Structure 1
Amino acid sequence: MRTIGNKIKNLRLQKGLTQEELGERTDLSKGYISQIEREISSPSIETLFSLLEVLGISAKDFFDEDTLNQKVVYAQNDVTSYEDIEQGYHVTWLIPESNEKDMEPVLLQLAPGGAFKTYEPSGAETFVYVLEGRVTLQLGRQSYIAAQGETLYYKASEIHQLRNESDTKTKVLVTATDSYL
Protein backbone atom coordinates (compact mmCIF):
# COMPACT_ATOMS: atom_id res chain seq x y z
CA MET A 1 0.00 0.00 0.00
CA ARG A 2 1.33 3.40 -0.98
CA THR A 3 1.38 6.07 1.67
CA ILE A 4 -0.44 9.40 1.48
CA GLY A 5 2.88 11.24 1.23
CA ASN A 6 4.09 9.00 -1.58
CA LYS A 7 0.83 9.43 -3.50
CA ILE A 8 1.00 13.22 -3.13
CA LYS A 9 4.60 13.23 -4.34
CA ASN A 10 3.74 11.08 -7.39
CA LEU A 11 0.78 13.31 -8.29
CA ARG A 12 2.91 16.44 -7.86
CA LEU A 13 5.57 15.02 -10.17
CA GLN A 14 2.94 13.95 -12.73
CA LYS A 15 1.67 17.54 -12.79
CA GLY A 16 5.24 18.81 -13.25
CA LEU A 17 5.15 20.86 -10.06
CA THR A 18 8.00 21.52 -7.67
CA GLN A 19 7.37 21.34 -3.93
CA GLU A 20 7.66 25.14 -3.89
CA GLU A 21 5.03 25.54 -6.64
CA LEU A 22 2.63 23.16 -4.88
CA GLY A 23 3.22 25.07 -1.64
CA GLU A 24 2.46 28.41 -3.31
CA ARG A 25 -0.81 27.10 -4.74
CA THR A 26 -1.93 25.71 -1.37
CA ASP A 27 -0.47 28.39 0.93
CA LEU A 28 1.87 25.80 2.46
CA SER A 29 5.64 26.01 2.78
CA LYS A 30 8.00 23.98 0.62
CA GLY A 31 9.36 22.45 3.83
CA TYR A 32 5.91 21.32 4.94
CA ILE A 33 5.20 19.76 1.53
CA SER A 34 8.52 17.91 1.86
CA GLN A 35 7.58 16.69 5.35
CA ILE A 36 4.21 15.40 4.08
CA GLU A 37 5.85 13.58 1.16
CA ARG A 38 8.44 11.99 3.46
CA GLU A 39 5.75 11.01 6.01
CA ILE A 40 7.32 13.20 8.72
CA SER A 41 4.07 15.17 9.03
CA SER A 42 0.48 14.26 8.29
CA PRO A 43 -1.78 16.86 6.68
CA SER A 44 -5.08 17.81 8.26
CA ILE A 45 -8.21 16.84 6.32
CA GLU A 46 -8.59 20.46 5.18
CA THR A 47 -4.95 20.59 4.00
CA LEU A 48 -5.26 17.23 2.26
CA PHE A 49 -8.38 18.37 0.37
CA SER A 50 -6.59 21.58 -0.62
CA LEU A 51 -3.65 19.54 -1.96
CA LEU A 52 -5.95 17.18 -3.85
CA GLU A 53 -7.83 20.08 -5.43
CA VAL A 54 -4.59 21.62 -6.74
CA LEU A 55 -3.39 18.20 -7.90
CA GLY A 56 -6.64 17.67 -9.80
CA ILE A 57 -7.85 14.46 -8.16
CA SER A 58 -10.93 13.65 -6.11
CA ALA A 59 -10.60 12.17 -2.63
CA LYS A 60 -12.37 9.04 -3.88
CA ASP A 61 -9.83 8.51 -6.68
CA PHE A 62 -6.94 9.38 -4.36
CA PHE A 63 -7.91 6.68 -1.87
CA ASP A 64 -9.15 4.15 -4.43
CA GLU A 65 -6.81 1.16 -4.15
CA ASP A 66 -8.03 -0.14 -7.54
CA THR A 67 -5.70 2.36 -9.18
CA LEU A 68 -2.87 0.28 -7.73
CA ASN A 69 -4.22 -2.75 -9.55
CA GLN A 70 -4.58 -1.03 -12.90
CA LYS A 71 -4.27 -3.17 -15.97
CA VAL A 72 -0.97 -2.47 -17.71
CA VAL A 73 -0.54 -5.27 -20.25
CA TYR A 74 -3.24 -5.87 -22.85
CA ALA A 75 -3.39 -9.10 -24.84
CA GLN A 76 -4.69 -9.93 -28.30
CA ASN A 77 -8.06 -10.99 -26.87
CA ASP A 78 -8.52 -7.48 -25.38
CA VAL A 79 -8.70 -5.77 -28.78
CA THR A 80 -11.78 -5.04 -30.85
CA SER A 81 -11.90 -4.51 -34.57
CA TYR A 82 -14.19 -3.11 -37.22
CA GLU A 83 -13.86 -3.33 -40.98
CA ASP A 84 -15.54 -1.12 -43.55
CA ILE A 85 -14.90 -2.80 -46.92
CA GLU A 86 -16.69 -0.07 -48.86
CA GLN A 87 -14.48 2.70 -47.41
CA GLY A 88 -11.40 0.44 -47.45
CA TYR A 89 -10.33 0.49 -43.82
CA HIS A 90 -9.89 -1.88 -40.91
CA VAL A 91 -9.53 -0.37 -37.43
CA THR A 92 -8.40 -2.20 -34.29
CA TRP A 93 -8.88 -0.58 -30.88
CA LEU A 94 -5.83 -1.72 -28.92
CA ILE A 95 -7.19 -0.87 -25.45
CA PRO A 96 -10.72 -1.76 -24.28
CA GLU A 97 -12.81 1.26 -23.35
CA SER A 98 -10.06 3.52 -24.72
CA ASN A 99 -12.69 6.13 -25.56
CA GLU A 100 -13.04 6.63 -21.79
CA LYS A 101 -9.30 7.29 -21.36
CA ASP A 102 -7.11 10.31 -22.12
CA MET A 103 -5.62 8.61 -25.19
CA GLU A 104 -7.08 6.28 -27.74
CA PRO A 105 -4.52 4.09 -29.53
CA VAL A 106 -5.66 2.23 -32.64
CA LEU A 107 -4.10 0.24 -35.44
CA LEU A 108 -5.50 1.43 -38.75
CA GLN A 109 -5.10 -0.45 -42.02
CA LEU A 110 -6.08 1.24 -45.27
CA ALA A 111 -6.55 -0.62 -48.54
CA PRO A 112 -5.23 1.06 -51.70
CA GLY A 113 -7.52 4.04 -52.27
CA GLY A 114 -9.08 3.53 -48.81
CA ALA A 115 -10.03 6.34 -46.46
CA PHE A 116 -10.84 6.51 -42.76
CA LYS A 117 -13.68 8.63 -41.40
CA THR A 118 -13.68 12.41 -41.81
CA TYR A 119 -13.55 14.16 -38.44
CA GLU A 120 -14.77 17.58 -37.45
CA PRO A 121 -12.37 20.02 -35.74
CA SER A 122 -11.69 19.30 -32.08
CA GLY A 123 -9.16 19.98 -29.35
CA ALA A 124 -7.52 16.58 -29.92
CA GLU A 125 -3.84 16.06 -30.55
CA THR A 126 -3.07 13.17 -32.86
CA PHE A 127 0.03 11.06 -33.42
CA VAL A 128 0.26 8.80 -36.49
CA TYR A 129 3.21 6.45 -37.02
CA VAL A 130 3.42 4.76 -40.42
CA LEU A 131 4.26 1.07 -39.95
CA GLU A 132 3.81 0.10 -43.59
CA GLY A 133 3.09 1.93 -46.84
CA ARG A 134 2.22 5.60 -47.11
CA VAL A 135 -0.60 7.69 -45.63
CA THR A 136 -2.05 11.06 -46.61
CA LEU A 137 -3.45 13.39 -43.98
CA GLN A 138 -5.96 15.94 -45.21
CA LEU A 139 -5.98 18.67 -42.53
CA GLY A 140 -8.26 21.47 -43.61
CA ARG A 141 -7.06 22.49 -47.08
CA GLN A 142 -3.52 21.12 -46.57
CA SER A 143 -2.35 17.61 -47.44
CA TYR A 144 0.58 15.91 -45.76
CA ILE A 145 2.15 12.61 -46.78
CA ALA A 146 4.13 10.31 -44.48
CA ALA A 147 5.85 7.08 -45.54
CA GLN A 148 6.93 3.99 -43.59
CA GLY A 149 8.95 4.99 -40.52
CA GLU A 150 7.68 8.58 -40.57
CA THR A 151 5.34 10.29 -38.14
CA LEU A 152 2.49 12.79 -38.36
CA TYR A 153 1.67 14.85 -35.27
CA TYR A 154 -1.04 17.49 -35.37
CA LYS A 155 -3.75 19.34 -33.54
CA ALA A 156 -7.11 18.41 -34.97
CA SER A 157 -8.21 22.04 -35.23
CA GLU A 158 -9.64 21.62 -38.75
CA ILE A 159 -11.65 18.97 -40.59
CA HIS A 160 -9.28 16.04 -41.06
CA GLN A 161 -9.04 12.58 -42.61
CA LEU A 162 -6.44 9.86 -43.17
CA ARG A 163 -6.32 8.30 -46.65
CA ASN A 164 -4.25 5.85 -48.63
CA GLU A 165 -3.70 7.36 -52.06
CA SER A 166 -1.13 4.71 -53.04
CA ASP A 167 -1.60 1.36 -54.74
CA THR A 168 -0.31 -0.68 -51.78
CA LYS A 169 -1.73 -1.41 -48.33
CA THR A 170 -1.02 1.11 -45.55
CA LYS A 171 -0.78 0.31 -41.85
CA VAL A 172 -0.51 3.07 -39.22
CA LEU A 173 -0.55 3.33 -35.44
CA VAL A 174 -2.77 6.23 -34.41
CA THR A 175 -2.94 7.65 -30.91
CA ALA A 176 -5.27 10.55 -30.25
CA THR A 177 -6.35 12.50 -27.22
CA ASP A 178 -9.80 13.84 -26.51
CA SER A 179 -11.91 11.02 -28.00
CA TYR A 180 -10.75 11.54 -31.58
CA LEU A 181 -11.53 8.09 -32.98
Structure 2
Amino acid sequence: MIGERMHSIRLKNNLTLKELGERTDLSPAYLSNVENGRTSPTLENLERICRALQYDLPQLVSETVDYHPLIRKAERKNVYRNNYRVKNELLTPPGVLMRGSCLTLYDGDDTEDVSLGHEHDEYFVVAKGQLRIVLNDSEEYWMEEGDAIYVRARTPHRFQRIGEGDTVLYVTTAMI
Protein backbone atom coordinates (compact mmCIF):
# COMPACT_ATOMS: atom_id res chain seq x y z
CA MET A 1 0.00 0.00 0.00
CA ILE A 2 2.87 2.40 0.69
CA GLY A 3 4.13 1.77 -2.84
CA GLU A 4 0.73 2.52 -4.37
CA ARG A 5 0.47 5.78 -2.43
CA MET A 6 4.05 6.70 -3.31
CA HIS A 7 3.24 6.06 -7.00
CA SER A 8 0.23 8.40 -6.95
CA ILE A 9 2.20 11.16 -5.18
CA ARG A 10 5.03 10.81 -7.72
CA LEU A 11 2.60 11.10 -10.65
CA LYS A 12 0.87 14.07 -9.03
CA ASN A 13 4.30 15.77 -8.89
CA ASN A 14 4.86 14.92 -12.60
CA LEU A 15 8.03 12.95 -11.82
CA THR A 16 9.34 9.95 -13.70
CA LEU A 17 11.00 7.06 -11.88
CA LYS A 18 14.30 8.23 -13.36
CA GLU A 19 13.83 11.76 -11.93
CA LEU A 20 12.83 10.40 -8.52
CA GLY A 21 15.86 8.10 -8.65
CA GLU A 22 18.15 11.07 -9.31
CA ARG A 23 16.67 12.96 -6.35
CA THR A 24 17.03 9.99 -3.99
CA ASP A 25 20.15 8.21 -5.32
CA LEU A 26 17.98 5.08 -5.65
CA SER A 27 17.68 3.14 -8.88
CA PRO A 28 14.51 3.49 -10.95
CA ALA A 29 14.21 -0.32 -10.92
CA TYR A 30 14.24 -0.34 -7.09
CA LEU A 31 11.67 2.48 -6.96
CA SER A 32 9.47 0.60 -9.44
CA ASN A 33 9.66 -2.53 -7.27
CA VAL A 34 8.62 -0.46 -4.22
CA GLU A 35 5.71 1.11 -6.10
CA ASN A 36 4.53 -2.28 -7.35
CA GLY A 37 4.79 -3.95 -3.95
CA ARG A 38 7.57 -6.34 -4.98
CA THR A 39 9.88 -4.99 -2.27
CA SER A 40 9.50 -2.97 0.89
CA PRO A 41 11.65 0.12 1.38
CA THR A 42 13.87 0.51 4.40
CA LEU A 43 12.95 3.38 6.71
CA GLU A 44 16.02 5.27 5.49
CA ASN A 45 14.98 4.88 1.85
CA LEU A 46 11.39 5.80 2.63
CA GLU A 47 12.61 9.00 4.30
CA ARG A 48 14.70 9.81 1.20
CA ILE A 49 11.72 9.21 -1.07
CA CYS A 50 9.43 11.38 1.06
CA ARG A 51 11.99 14.21 1.11
CA ALA A 52 12.30 14.02 -2.67
CA LEU A 53 8.50 14.05 -3.07
CA GLN A 54 8.22 16.81 -0.43
CA TYR A 55 5.74 14.64 1.45
CA ASP A 56 5.43 14.03 5.19
CA LEU A 57 6.53 10.50 6.15
CA PRO A 58 4.10 10.05 9.09
CA GLN A 59 1.25 11.20 6.84
CA LEU A 60 2.27 8.73 4.14
CA VAL A 61 2.32 5.88 6.63
CA SER A 62 -1.00 6.86 8.23
CA GLU A 63 -2.64 7.05 4.80
CA THR A 64 -1.64 3.48 4.03
CA VAL A 65 -2.80 1.81 7.24
CA ASP A 66 -6.22 0.18 7.19
CA TYR A 67 -8.35 2.56 9.21
CA HIS A 68 -11.05 1.17 11.45
CA PRO A 69 -12.26 4.00 13.72
CA LEU A 70 -14.41 1.93 16.10
CA ILE A 71 -12.62 -0.09 18.78
CA ARG A 72 -15.07 -2.24 20.71
CA LYS A 73 -14.24 -3.16 24.30
CA ALA A 74 -14.01 -6.85 23.44
CA GLU A 75 -11.62 -6.06 20.55
CA ARG A 76 -9.07 -3.99 22.48
CA LYS A 77 -5.47 -5.11 22.05
CA ASN A 78 -3.84 -5.90 25.37
CA VAL A 79 -0.32 -4.82 26.25
CA TYR A 80 0.92 -6.01 29.62
CA ARG A 81 3.84 -4.53 31.50
CA ASN A 82 5.34 -4.38 34.99
CA ASN A 83 5.15 -8.14 35.55
CA TYR A 84 1.45 -8.12 34.62
CA ARG A 85 0.54 -5.74 37.47
CA VAL A 86 -0.95 -3.17 35.12
CA LYS A 87 -3.34 -4.07 32.32
CA ASN A 88 -2.90 -1.75 29.34
CA GLU A 89 -5.55 -1.92 26.60
CA LEU A 90 -5.15 0.10 23.41
CA LEU A 91 -8.17 2.21 22.50
CA THR A 92 -7.01 3.66 19.18
CA PRO A 93 -6.31 2.10 15.79
CA PRO A 94 -2.77 1.96 14.40
CA GLY A 95 -1.48 4.78 12.26
CA VAL A 96 -3.25 7.66 13.98
CA LEU A 97 -1.66 10.71 15.60
CA MET A 98 -3.03 9.95 19.07
CA ARG A 99 -2.81 6.90 21.26
CA GLY A 100 -5.55 6.04 23.69
CA SER A 101 -5.09 3.49 26.44
CA CYS A 102 -7.16 2.08 29.26
CA LEU A 103 -4.94 1.23 32.23
CA THR A 104 -6.26 -0.95 35.05
CA LEU A 105 -4.33 -0.87 38.33
CA TYR A 106 -5.48 -3.87 40.31
CA ASP A 107 -6.79 -3.85 43.89
CA GLY A 108 -4.15 -5.02 46.33
CA ASP A 109 -1.19 -3.88 44.25
CA ASP A 110 0.06 -0.50 45.45
CA THR A 111 3.31 -0.47 43.49
CA GLU A 112 4.22 2.83 41.84
CA ASP A 113 4.46 3.00 38.06
CA VAL A 114 7.40 5.28 37.22
CA SER A 115 8.17 7.20 34.03
CA LEU A 116 11.21 9.39 33.49
CA GLY A 117 9.16 11.37 30.98
CA HIS A 118 8.10 10.66 27.43
CA GLU A 119 8.71 12.59 24.23
CA HIS A 120 5.00 13.36 24.02
CA ASP A 121 2.26 14.94 26.13
CA GLU A 122 -0.20 12.74 28.02
CA TYR A 123 -3.66 13.32 29.39
CA PHE A 124 -4.96 11.11 32.23
CA VAL A 125 -8.62 10.73 33.29
CA VAL A 126 -9.57 8.61 36.32
CA ALA A 127 -12.61 6.57 35.26
CA LYS A 128 -12.83 4.47 38.44
CA GLY A 129 -11.12 4.46 41.82
CA GLN A 130 -8.45 6.80 43.12
CA LEU A 131 -4.96 7.68 41.99
CA ARG A 132 -1.92 9.44 43.40
CA ILE A 133 0.33 11.05 40.79
CA VAL A 134 3.60 12.89 41.38
CA LEU A 135 5.12 15.19 38.74
CA ASN A 136 8.79 16.27 38.81
CA ASP A 137 9.30 14.47 42.15
CA SER A 138 7.63 17.41 43.92
CA GLU A 139 4.07 18.07 42.72
CA GLU A 140 1.72 15.52 44.27
CA TYR A 141 -1.93 15.19 43.23
CA TRP A 142 -4.64 12.95 44.65
CA MET A 143 -7.24 12.16 42.03
CA GLU A 144 -10.72 10.65 42.17
CA GLU A 145 -13.17 9.38 39.60
CA GLY A 146 -13.72 12.03 36.92
CA ASP A 147 -10.54 14.00 37.71
CA ALA A 148 -8.08 14.66 34.88
CA ILE A 149 -4.46 15.79 34.63
CA TYR A 150 -2.31 16.93 31.73
CA VAL A 151 1.36 15.86 31.79
CA ARG A 152 3.73 17.71 29.47
CA ALA A 153 6.39 15.91 27.45
CA ARG A 154 9.62 15.01 29.27
CA THR A 155 8.01 15.49 32.69
CA PRO A 156 9.13 12.77 35.11
CA HIS A 157 6.07 11.29 36.79
CA ARG A 158 4.94 8.35 38.83
CA PHE A 159 1.52 7.13 39.84
CA GLN A 160 -0.09 4.52 42.03
CA ARG A 161 -3.52 3.21 42.90
CA ILE A 162 -4.82 4.33 46.30
CA GLY A 163 -7.96 3.45 48.21
CA GLU A 164 -10.07 0.34 47.78
CA GLY A 165 -10.76 -1.55 44.54
CA ASP A 166 -9.27 -1.35 41.07
CA THR A 167 -8.34 1.98 39.56
CA VAL A 168 -9.07 2.50 35.86
CA LEU A 169 -7.41 5.31 33.90
CA TYR A 170 -7.95 6.54 30.37
CA VAL A 171 -4.72 7.93 28.94
CA THR A 172 -4.46 9.89 25.71
CA THR A 173 -1.03 10.43 24.22
CA ALA A 174 -0.13 12.87 21.45
CA MET A 175 2.14 10.90 19.11
CA ILE A 176 3.47 14.00 17.33
Query: Per the shorter chain, which TM-score range?
Result: 0.5 to 0.7
Which residue of 1 is the match for residue 101 of structure 2?
A: 106
* Equivalent residue in structure 2 for 1:150, among 125, 147, 151: 147
- CA gap of 1:125–1:44, structure 2 versus 1, over 3 A, is closer
Q: Secondary structure at the match of 1:118?
A: strand
* Equivalent residue in structure 1 for 2:169, among 167, 172, 177: 172
Q: Secondary structure at the match of 1:114?
A: coil
How far apart, in 2, do the equivalents of 1:147 and 1:115 lie? 18
- CA gap of 1:134–1:145, structure 2 versus 1, over 3 A, is same
How far apart, in 1, do the equivalents of 2:140 and 2:147 lie? 15
Q: Secondary structure at the match of 1:95?
A: coil
Which residue of 2 is the match for residue 71 of structure 1?
A: 68
Q: Tell whether the 8 Å contact from 2:128 to 2:166 is kept in structure 1 after alignment.
A: yes
Q: Tell whether the 8 Å contact from 2:67 to 2:93 is kept in structure 1 after alignment.
A: no
Show structure 2 runs of 5+ residues with no match: 1-11, 16-52
Which residue of 2 is the match for residue 38 of structure 1?
A: none
How far apart, in 2, do the equivalents of 1:44 and 1:92 lie? 41
* Equivalent residue in structure 2 for 1:161, among 138, 154, 158: 158
Identical positions, percent: 14
Q: Secondary structure at the match of 1:70?
A: coil
Q: Tell whether the 8 Å contact from 2:71 to 2:92 is kept in structure 1 after alignment.
A: yes
TM-score, normalised on structure 2? 0.54
Which residue of 2 is the match for residue 128 of structure 1?
A: 124
Q: Tell whether the 8 Å contact from 2:92 to 2:98 is kept in structure 1 after alignment.
A: no
Give the CA deviation at 1:129: 0.9
